[in-house]
Amino acid sequence: MISTQVKNTSAEVQPQALDQANPDLVSFTPRTYGDWRDEFHKNGCVVIKNLISAERAQYYREKQIQWLKNFELGFDENDEATWTAEHLPVSFKGGMYFAYGSCHEKMAWEARTEPAVIDIFEKLWETKELICSFDGMNISLPRRKDLNWSPWPHCDQNPERKGMQAVQGLLNYAPNGPKDGGLMLMKGSAKLFNEFFAHKRESFDHEDAPPPEIKYMDLFLFSEKDVQWFKDRGCELIKVNMEPGDFVLWDSRTMHYACLPEGDQIRHVQYICMTPRRFATSDALKLKKECFENFTGTTHWPHCNIRPAKEKPMRDGEVCPKDRSEPFEKPEKTDAVLKLAGVKAY
Ligand SMILES: [Fe+2]
């Protein structure tokens, strides 16, 4: 039974069109699903257990470690003295990798095309015709001594987009307990998105905020006062603990951030988002095709805000000498890959 309904097929929402009264892309008929969707629609987030096997998760962990070693900067996963920036490719917030063609590494595409991963998004959006973001991965080494880290509560949906328009996910590869860093979610905050943004709000001037010349991003940074606003209304800031192979989904309106690990375990994650292909305009698909062919990453958004991540990884004020425009291991251009990339029609 199809219970979703497209309300606006012109999903490449331009800034000037954002203030339309009701730009929700899909209406979900309230009902009981009898699976993880009940919790997701109630809280705006849900953990789905054992999506891939422990062996498969280990395979991805090993691939990610090998990827770090491919740069030949002296990183050794068994020697903590090498867990510093000089021995690692350039990352954001201590472990998020978007550059170096990493969004198109074979392992990233293998994760996106895991049948169980696709199944989640097929169930969620009630269509088999999906496209995915060209998102990054997170490999965070614990107890880094060379990092200044601060929490950066944010949501990845522009306040002008109302309703649920994107759902983010991550596939977790390593044991991730209370001390292993990872995803912090303000449970219940997605439902308060409209109420919060009914007033004019200024995105917090965080030290890691994007430069103002990067306009119109689906990113809003919250201040400590904003965090309290959500708590005062019954939301709960939770640290999501996960086992290898688990998957977490959250509505892009949800306040969240990632914590650095403080235990002994390296954090291994692939960010994965999918939305229906019908949400994308032909221009968005054209841009996606270019990104796919040039191994460029995108934002978390699969169908719009296809802002090619062309920023070079900077090291000590210069472009990292290890910068590269291709993955070490290119993906196989299978039917599933080409369809999810938006390159091939269903
Ligand atoms: Fe985010």
pLDDT value at 8 more than 50: no
pLDDT at 1: 31
Q: Which residue has the tokens 């040039």?
A: 294
The alpha carbon of 98 and the centre of ligand 1 are apart by a number of angstroms equal to 13
The alpha carbon of 79 and the centre of ligand 1 are apart by a number of angstroms equal to 30
pLDDT value at 235 more than 80: yes
Q: Which of 346, 342, 337 is nearest to 288 (CA)?
A: 342
The alpha carbon of 96 and the centre of ligand 1 are apart by a number of angstroms equal to 11
pLDDT value at 193 more than 80: yes
The conformation of residue 326, written as its DSSP 8-state character, comes to: S
Mean pLDDT score of the chain, rounded to an integer? 89
pLDDT value at 45 more than 80: yes
3-class secondary-structure state, position 344: coil
Q: What is the pLDDT averaged over residues 49-68?
A: 98
Model confidence at 28, pLDDT cuts 50, 70, 90, reads: confident
Model confidence at 247, pLDDT cuts 50, 70, 90, reads: very high
3-class secondary-structure state, position 4: strand
pLDDT value at 39 more than 50: yes
The alpha carbon of 164 and the centre of ligand 1 are apart by a number of angstroms equal to 15
pLDDT at 9: 32
pLDDT at 290: 95
pLDDT at 6: 35
The alpha carbon of 272 and the centre of ligand 1 are apart by a number of angstroms equal to 12
Q: What is the pLDDT averaged over residues 52-60?
A: 98
Model confidence at 21, pLDDT cuts 50, 70, 90, reads: very low
The alpha carbon of 1 and the centre of ligand 1 are apart by a number of angstroms equal to 32
pLDDT digits (tens, 9 = 90+) for 145-164: 888 888 889 999 988 888 89
The alpha carbon of 76 and the centre of ligand 1 are apart by a number of angstroms equal to 28
The alpha carbon of 74 and the centre of ligand 1 are apart by a number of angstroms equal to 30
The alpha carbon of 219 and the centre of ligand 1 are apart by a number of angstroms equal to 8
The alpha carbon of 16 and the centre of ligand 1 are apart by a number of angstroms equal to 24
- Cα gap 328→97, rounded to integer Å: 14
Q: What angle do CA 271, 228, 240 make, to 5 degrees?
A: 30
**For strand 267-276 and strand 130-132, is the pairing parallel, antiparallel, or unpaired?**
antiparallel
The alpha carbon of 276 and the centre of ligand 1 are apart by a number of angstroms equal to 20
pLDDT at 86: 96
pLDDT value at 212 more than 60: no
Domain ranges of the chain: 39-340
Q: What is the pLDDT averaged over residues 98-107?
A: 96
- Cα gap 201→124, rounded to integer Å: 30
Q: What are the residue ranges of helices labelled H in 136-192? A: none
Instruction: Count CB atoms within 10 A of the CB of residue 198.
Output: 9
**Which residues are in the CB-under-5-Å shell of ion ligand 1?**
156
pLDDT value at 41 more than 70: yes
CATH number assigned to the domain with residue range 39-340, chosen from the 4 options 2.60.120.620, 1.10.260.40, 3.40.50.2000, 3.20.20.70: 2.60.120.620
pLDDT value at 125 more than 70: yes
pLDDT digits (tens, 9 = 90+) for 306-330: 877 778 899 999 999 999 999 999 9
| Proportion of the chain above pLDDT 70, given as a percent | 89
The alpha carbon of 192 and the centre of ligand 1 are apart by a number of angstroms equal to 17
Q: What are the residue ranges of helices labelled H in 233-341? A: 282-293, 335-340
pLDDT value at 261 more than 90: yes
pLDDT at 18: 41
